[in-house]
Amino acid sequence: MTNITDGDLLLKNITAQAPFPICFADLEKAVAEKIEAGPFGYIRSGAGGEQTLRNNRAAFEKYSIVPRFLKDVSNVQTSINLFGKTYPTPLLFAPVGMNGMVHDEGELAVVRAAEHLNMPYIQSTVSTYALEEVAQAAPSATKWFQLYWSTNEEIAFSMVARAEAAGFEAIVLTVDTVMLGWREEDVRNQFSPLKLGYARGNYMNDPVFTATLPDDSFESYVQGVLQNVFHPTLNWAHVRELKKRTNLPILLKGILHPEDAKLAIDNGIDGIIVSNHGGRQLDGVIGSLDALPAIAKVVNGQIPIILDSGVYRGMDALKALALGADAVAIGRPFVYGLALEGQQGVEKVMTNLYDELKVSIALAGATSVKGLRNITLVKHDGTEVR
């Protein structure tokens, strides 16, 4: 239970200390000034003409809350349950690869922040540090492993086994990135973190992967990753095979169609992440929040739904939770925090998102995450959603 009256959540940001960017636009601006165009463009941009990047934001702007008052909102319960564990907030860290691009401590700084805040951390396959190093950096954090299937699928199974052994508690299979999206900003900047070796963490120490390399040169390693990380054959048979290979809960990340959500349930999947990869994969696809209501209807509470893509403030999280998500995952905002101030920056970004969410739940007239399902929302055309 969070007591809203324990000091004002906004005013604690107005102090004599060094100021920190308070919103996504300010964060993005500060990072643009701090890091080089290549990595900045890689993180910021969306695929193609960035329609989906815009769709993500537009989707949140379409909804407005009609608040209720005089309901005693002094105690707001923000905790949630996922796979048998309780977390104090409905916020997660989305899997983001190659964190070494923006900070030397990379994923280690992020997982330490996740541990401190008790928010689940999803580690990417293409991380700068190995999953064992991440586990060691934050032994008590809840860690899930995001799997990119490998063309040589024994590499994928090897990574899953390593994740299990290191104490990771779920596998998140990303289904929307069987090849890279058409990312024009990276061509403009002639920038590929994959080619620069930032994705080495989990591959370099994988015995199945290294056994396939002709030698231990940097070029062989980069080639090996490129040959394996893109895997356009991925299909439901692979999902069923993965289920046989692990006892951990499996989530599918990148679901946008209600039929795929239904198939996930039919195939015994334990959770889904409604996501368009932050607009970085197929341009022109639906905003993730726009995809949520139809998926929530099909899923009907059978498995948890996490939403990401464009959750840049507490109010966005509130809308997603109100429209059927059980939790939301954050991508770019925490990466920007990492770029600015390492672990501390990540914590500041996530804490501000959380504090704004708390204020928003209370000011909307609700006192819990579940209670958000009862608040009134209208769409921009004035139609009442509920």
Ligand X SMILES: O=C(O)C(=O)c1ccccc1
Q: How far is the CB of 374 from ligand X (least distance, A)?
A: 36
Active site amino acids: 277
User: Are the C-beta atoms of 147 and 162 separated by less than 8 Å?
Assistant: no
Binding letters toward ligand FMN, positions 104-143, x by CB under 6 A? --------------------x-x-----------------
Rule CB under 6 A: is residue 280 a binding residue for ligand X? yes
Q: Contact region for ligand FMN (CB under 6 A) — 183-191, 276-284, 291-299, 367-375?
A: 276-284
Counting Cα atoms < 13 Å in the Cβ hemisphere of 121 gives 33
Q: How many residues bind ligand X (CB under 6 A)?
A: 8
Nearer to ligand X, 126 or 159 (CB): 126
Among 52, 177, 275, 276, binds ligand X (CB under 6 A): 177
How many angstroms separate the CA atoms of 94 and 334, rounded? 9
Contact between 27 and ligand FMN by CB under 6 A: the answer reads no
Q: Which two tokens stand for residue 90?
A: 């409905």
Residue 229 interacts, among ligand FMN, ligand X, none and using kind-specific CB cut-offs from 5 to 8 Å, with ligand X
User: Which one of 38, 41, 48, 278 is in contact with ligand FMN (CB under 6 A)?
Assistant: 278
Q: Does 281 bind ligand FMN (CB under 6 A)?
A: no
CB of 26 to ligand X, least distance (A): 23
How far apart CA 125 and CA 108 sit, in angstroms, is 14
3-state secondary structure of 82: strand
At closest approach, how far in Å is the CB of 125 from ligand FMN? 6
| C-alpha–C-alpha distance, residues 310 and 60, integer Å | 8
CB of 136 to ligand X, least distance (A): 24
128 binds ligand X (CB under 6 A): no
Chosen residue from 253, 319, 348, 358 binding ligand FMN by CB under 6 A: 253
Tokens of 256: 């946008």
Output the smallest distance, CB 229 to ligand X, in A.
Answer: 5
Q: Does 285 bind ligand X (CB under 6 A)?
A: no
Q: Which partner from the list ligand FMN, ligand X, none does 194 bind, CB cut-off 5 to 8 Å by kind?
A: ligand X
Using DSSP's 3-state secondary structure scheme, residue 91 falls into strand
> Tokens at residue 97, please?
């690869």
Q: Nearer to ligand FMN by C-beta: 52 or 367?
A: 52
Using alpha carbons only, give the angle 251, 252, 255 rounded to the nearest 5 degrees.
140
- Beta-bridged to residue 3, according to DSSP, are 75
CB 55 within 8 A of CB 285: yes
Inter-CA distances, 68 with 62, 71, 361, 362, 384, Å: 20, 8, 11, 10, 15
Six-digit token pair at 199? 């994705």
Stretch that binds ligand FMN, among 105-113, 132-140, 163-171, 328-336 (CB under 6 A): 328-336
**22 CB-near residues (< 8 Å, 6+ apart):** 13, 352
| Binding piece for ligand FMN, criterion CB under 6 A, among 5-13, 60-68, 220-228, 277-285 | 277-285
β-pairing verdict for 171-174 and 305-307? unpaired
CA dist., res. 341 & res. 312, Å (int) = 18
Contacts with ligand X by CB under 6 A lie at 97, 126, 177, 194, 199, 229, 277, 280
Contacts with ligand FMN by CB under 6 A lie at 43, 94-97, 124, 126, 146, 174, 253, 275, 277-278, 280, 308-311, 330-332, 335
